[in-house]
A and B are shown apart, each in its own frame.
Chain A
């Protein structure tokens, strides 16, 4: 059987199973139709993406198809999950975008930023401020504006980055993270001061989506579902672009700058410009994550974007695995579910922490997890997996 035929058979089989599942699970005919469409999209993308010629000759197309499958599958799943679960997943996805930007900055170009929580806040407030002045702007445009604003802030702080290295650059971004809440409160006529901003109107699901899914409380469920899916699609686009960047000329140039800046200069890579670009991209990704959080919460509060968030971002990316794409996803999931897992742990072990301990338990366990990661798997979960796989491959080669 030729590879094409084999992939075709696998895709067809998956489609049949998905259709059967849809028909048994979906309570109404229109739901079933929607699910069949979703399954068909995934199957078609899977088929195209797995063609041998596509895989070797057009890696970008293969990555695009993989993105379509993953986003499609997540969107499919969110239709069946509860509202809080959807909300949690979308929050984690927004965080994953921020982590990807930071991971790229550190893993690909070797710079460090402690200020990404503040860049996230830039995007979050840009979305809220814009929406309050121009309520009719489509969501996509608002998101793009927020990303651009984030990138401009990144440029502003990234220019000195061409002269600063290691601890000094970290110190500068740290200063931005610390100063950010103060900046917000001194522009309170724009940012709403301590109380933050509400969005003027909720992003409502389009009629066809409301018509398709009628589980639970109709409006709330479909609106949260709609927002979740917007976040998931944005996440898919962000990851797709970054995967291409990692594999591109620019991505390779950045890794060369990280590993050996002299060699980079000798092959003609301009160091300052490369470093600034990496910094700007990382800030833009952080801003996108923050903008999505604002959409998701329908409001923004300065308390969210304090210094602690920047530290949490660093902790989560280290646990997930720095410099890898999967590490950012793992980090996002860890962020979204750490509170739930800790609550479950407390409920099931019979521990009943009181007072101060109870309120700080989250931070304590997070800190302990970070220390354990640094001690036993400094490359994070994704890095350790990769290392184990490489070792297995090496062992096979020797046999």
Chain B
């Protein structure tokens, strides 16, 4: 469970997050939605310690994460797949996966086998350079790299960015399956609200740094006002 309590983040005079409070329950997918500049990425970066908040706390289960270093938070089991994926193009698929287990002391061979089973396309391309992968494959590689450290929480930042609708649908199905077959807590940041809402249990909508809605995914999806004003889902 990830708990965020009255989190405020400022960059100079700009408030990126204002008193944001939310909970991402264990074993569920919590979608964080909103337009450009709503503060979605900042929220994830603050959870994983890349950004220090001005006030408020982030906690993992009962443990307060605020002010820990990013590498300490990573070791506590928070996996973050950043926007743009952070895959090293000149490394092979397997070398990239090994990077995920650099610090986490997990059985590497077993972890590799597990990820190749979860993402068969990575197994087929294990010796290829990541530069040769398609966008969807890169996103899978980034996810597998985070998962190989066996996190209890997975933070996904815009996984659908730059992907074709069909690839996005496949990716979302994979995330849903991951969550269903384990106790993984997923925080899914998306601009593509409809595909995120399809798999999410819970949804939080941000607007200019503030929470404007916090409800079940079904409720958010059914709310005409939210759809129109904040999610850009106009029929």
Contacts and interface: CB of A to CB of B under 8 A. Distances in A.
Nearest to A259: B88
15 contacts: A252-B95, A253-B102, A260-B86, A262-B50, A263-B86, A265-B49, A265-B74, A266-B48, A266-B80, A266-B86, A267-B74, A267-B104, A267-B145, A269-B71, A270-B71
Given A266-B80, A267-B74, 8 more contacts: A249-B98, A253-B99, A262-B86, A265-B50, A265-B70, A266-B74, A267-B100, A267-B149
Contacts of A252: 91, 95, 98-99, 102
Interface in A258-298: 259-260, 262-263, 265-271
B82 A268 contact: no
A263 B149 CA distance: 14
Contact of B88 (A249, A256, A268, A270): A256
Contacts of B145: 267
A384 B196 CA distance: 46
How extensive is the interface on chain B, given as a class?
A: 20 to 34
A63 interface: no
B163 interface: no
A253 B98 CA distance: 10
B69 A270 contact: yes
A265 B49 CA distance: 9
Contacts of B71: 265, 268-271
A256 B95 CA distance: 11
Interface string A93-104: 000000000000
Contacts of B80: 266
Interface in B40-58: 48-50
A364 to B, nearest CB: 36
Contacts of A249: 98, 102
B103 interface: yes
Contacts of B95: 252
A7 interface: no
Q: Interface on chain A toward B: helix, strand, loop, or mixed SS? A: helix
A-B CB proximity, top 4 nearest: A263-B86, A268-B103, A268-B74, A265-B70
A214 interface: no
A81 B94 CA distance: 46
A255 B91 CA distance: 10
Contacts of B86: 260, 262-263, 266
Nearest to B103: A268
A266 B69 CA distance: 10
Contact of B102 (A259, A269, A271): A269
B88 A260 contact: yes
B127 interface: no
B15 interface: no
A255 B89 CA distance: 12
A263 B82 contact: yes
Interface in B96-133: 98-100, 102-104
A143 B63 CA distance: 49
Contacts of B70: 265-266
Nearest to B78: A266
Nearest to A265: B70
Interface centre among A249, A266, A270 (most CB of B within 10 A): A266
Nearest to B80: A266
A172 B50 CA distance: 27
A266 B104 CA distance: 11
B50 A267 contact: no
Interface in A240-258: 249, 252-253, 255-256
A263 to B, nearest CB: 3
Contacts of B100: 267
Nearest to B75: A268
Contact of A267 (B49, B69, B102): B102
